[in-house]
Amino acid sequence: MWTLPELPVQRELRRIAIITSGGDAPGMNAAVRAITRTAGSRGIETLGADRGYSGLVHEPLRPLSMSSVGSILQRGGTILKTDRCEAFMDPAVRLQTADALRAQGVDALIVIGGDGSLTGAHHFFADTGLPVLGLPGTIDNDIVGTDDSIGFDTAVNTALEAIDRIRDTAHSHDRLFLVEVMGRSSGFIALSVGIAGGAEAILLPDEAVNAETLLARMAQTRTREKASSLVVVAEGTDPTYTTRLAADLGAQGRPARACILGHIQRGGSPSGHDRVLASVLGASAVDHLQAGYSDIMLGIREGAIARTALERIGHERKKLPEAWLALASTLAS
């Protein structure tokens, strides 16, 4: 259970706009629902823009209501759709967008997305002064200032379900499998999935471990006694790495199959954890806007809501916890 701060109302709000932006993440709908229902219960209207910043720039907003956000809590993806918008990099476009929002009576914007989307939110506020609040919505969980992001837990569980299945066939055929998980240049999904899936090795982003090194690493552990093994590989920035590594292992006399889980990890019904996280953060976003906060992201740290300046997000890299890295290695040995 996370502690929610009680905040005094300091700012009158009539209308809040909401976007989901960047890669979709299970639980985004739960956040949209929580914002809409919390705001609605206080007489504040909410409007959604379709396709993230693109919709904000190019399309009219559509009203969300207590009933229109019904039955979306359990749905994966985002009913608002999402996009990555180049045009929003232009300060002139940001100014025009703020004018258009103000003309529609919008006095605050909530952005649910990953690091790029939240950095865009900071620039929007810096250029226009329109109050903005960010929520971490990404399966990658790579955003500073929060232990958790909306969608991460579901993605880890989806990958684990696949890994448990792969284990069965790996065992039957005495095979080595390389299972690539998402996370771009961060290794949070790989590390969690590797620990929870009992991986014999975890290759973190862009470690660029070659076949020889991997075999030597595995030979130092109990894996040398096993006929079948499973290695979790973080996708990193080279899309050909996992398949090349499997081929190189074969050339070294240790045949391996590569399995790239890909976008399957982004879909599906959000876990209970992600639904609660999104609901708590969504409701608290409305509290914070009413209390006068702006230019911050809400996350979770040490069991409570934590506020992080949006400006930090583009500048700081969230580090993998050393203790988890050590744990993964101990458990695989």
114 binds ligand F6P (CB under 6 A): yes
Q: CB of 25: closest distance to ligand F6P in angstroms?
A: 7
The DSSP code for 265 is G
Among 52, 73, 140, 261, binds ligand F6P (CB under 6 A): 140
How many Å apart are CA 13 and CA 228, to the nearest integer? 59
Q: CB of 115: closest distance to ligand F6P in angstroms?
A: 9
Nearer to ligand F6P, 266 or 275 (CB): 266
Nearer to ligand F6P, 55 or 137 (CB): 137
27 binds ligand F6P (CB under 6 A): no
Among 20, 23, 143, 295, binds ligand F6P (CB under 6 A): 23
Tokens of 333: 């040995």
How many Å apart are CA 222 and CA 248, to the nearest integer? 22
139 binds ligand F6P (CB under 6 A): yes
Among 33, 94, 122, 184, binds ligand F6P (CB under 6 A): 184
138 binds ligand F6P (CB under 6 A): yes
**311 HSE (CA, 13 A, CB side):** 5
How many Å apart are CA 133 and CA 111, to the nearest integer? 6
Among 27, 52, 137, 183, binds ligand F6P (CB under 6 A): 183
Site string for ligand F6P, 239-278 (x = CB under 6 A): ---------------------------x------------
CA 122 to chain centre: 18
Say how many Å lie between the first and final Cα of the chain, rounded.
34
Judged by CB under 6 A, the stretch of 124-132, 135-143, 192-200, 241-249 that binds ligand F6P is 135-143
Beta carbons of 122 and 310 less than 8 angstroms apart: yes
Residue holding tokens 């929003």?
88
96: which strand partners?
none
Residue 51 phi, psi dihedral angles, 5° rounding = 60, 45
Active-site entry in 140, 153, 274, 295: 140
User: Computed from CA positions of residues 223, 224, 228, 232, in that sequence, does the dihedral angle turn out positive or negative?
Assistant: positive
Judged by CB under 6 A, the stretch of 12-20, 68-76, 177-185, 220-228 that binds ligand F6P is 177-185
The amino acid that residue 267 corresponds to is G
153 binds ligand F6P (CB under 6 A): no
Q: Coil, strand, or helix at residue 317?
A: coil
Is residue 206 annotated as part of the catalytic site, yes or no?
A: no
Residues contributing to the site for ligand F6P (CB under 6 A): 23, 114, 138-140, 182-184, 235, 266
Q: Give catalytic residue positions.
A: 140
